[in-house]
Every structure is written in structure tokens, then in C-alpha cells.
Amino acid sequence: MTAALLPWFVTPYRWDTVDVIGRALELAVSGQGVRRIAAALGRPETTVREWCRRFRATAADLARVLLAAAVRVGWTGFDLPTAPGPRCAAAVSALASAWARRHGPAPPWRLAALVTGGAWLARNTTSPLAASAAPSLMARTSRTTPGGAPCHRIPPKPSLSGDTT
């Protein structure tokens, strides 16, 4: 098995960058159809349809996670749409504007990918934002040894001066 660290503008198992997929989703939320979006972006209709289908399945959870991240970086707005798709698009915008005030401008959909660990539009059928024991928004790393036993911290050794190292 090979593991790779993907840049924040790439979604796992997708050929297109987060920016292209995000633009398609913005157009879908604004009411454009799949055929028109596919023609505008030069992508196959089946690809755009799959993006939209996956987005509809995760939009409510994604909006909740992105709004929490936006609040953490200083967003204080209250005027949000109630439908999941438009609410998620508004959450992406809210996160980007709050991020820009504190850290400088960044592409909105890349921030969404960064916050969700890139799994927000992955090709599986389970929610990438399903409840887990991990309190953070990023993927949780396992703390076990190769044999499956939990890792234990090695206690610090005392130094000659009496301090621990």
C-alpha cells in the first residue's frame, strides 16, 4: 500500500481541482442545470452530475463543519439560507471572508477542502463528516503500534541536574 500527501487543492479520487468542482457546485446552487454547468466548465455531464449528487448528500453536514470553522476564525454573521446546498455555499463564503480578514485571501473551496481534510467530495457513499470520537475537523490519526496495541508514552528520564528531559 502506498500513502501520499495531497495538496490542499486536490480532492482524493477526483481528476479536477477543488476550484473547478467548487465552481460547478456554486452554479448548481444558483439554479443552473447539469448540462449547462458541464458545457460552461468543459467537463462531461456524468462527472458534473456525480459532483452534484455527492454534494447534495453531504451539504448539510459540510455546512455545519464549515460554519464552525468560520466562527473559529472570527465570522459573526447570522443571515444564512435554510436549504442545505445554498447554506453550504454561504458557509464556504463565510469561511473565506473570515479567513481573509485574519490570514489574507485564499480560494474559498480550497479552504473547504483544507478544513475537511479533502474528504468533502470523496467518492464513497458514507459521509466524510460522520460523527466520530475525534473532536477536531481534520482526520484523526491512529495511536497504535503495528501489532494493534496502543502506543504508550515513554516517561522522561531525569538528567544530572534533576530536571527531566
Confidence of residue 142 (pLDDT cuts 50, 70, 90): very low
pTM, rounded to two decimals: 0.65
Residue 15: is its pLDDT beyond 90? no
In the chain, domain spans: 18-115
- The count of other CB atoms within 10 Å of the CB of residue 51 is 25
Residue 155: is its pLDDT beyond 50? yes
Q: Which residue has the higher pLDDT, 152 or 3?
A: 3
Rounded distance, CA 52 to CA 65, Å?
19
Confidence of residue 152 (pLDDT cuts 50, 70, 90): low
Per-residue cell: 112? 473547504
Rounded distance, CA 105 to CA 100, Å?
4
Q: What percent of the chain has pLDDT over 90?
A: 19
Angle in degrees, CA 64, 45, 53, rounded to 5: 25
Residue with cell 447539469: 34
Distance of CA 62 to the CA centre of its chain: 7
* pLDDT tens-digit readout, 92-113: 999 999 999 888 998 998 888 8
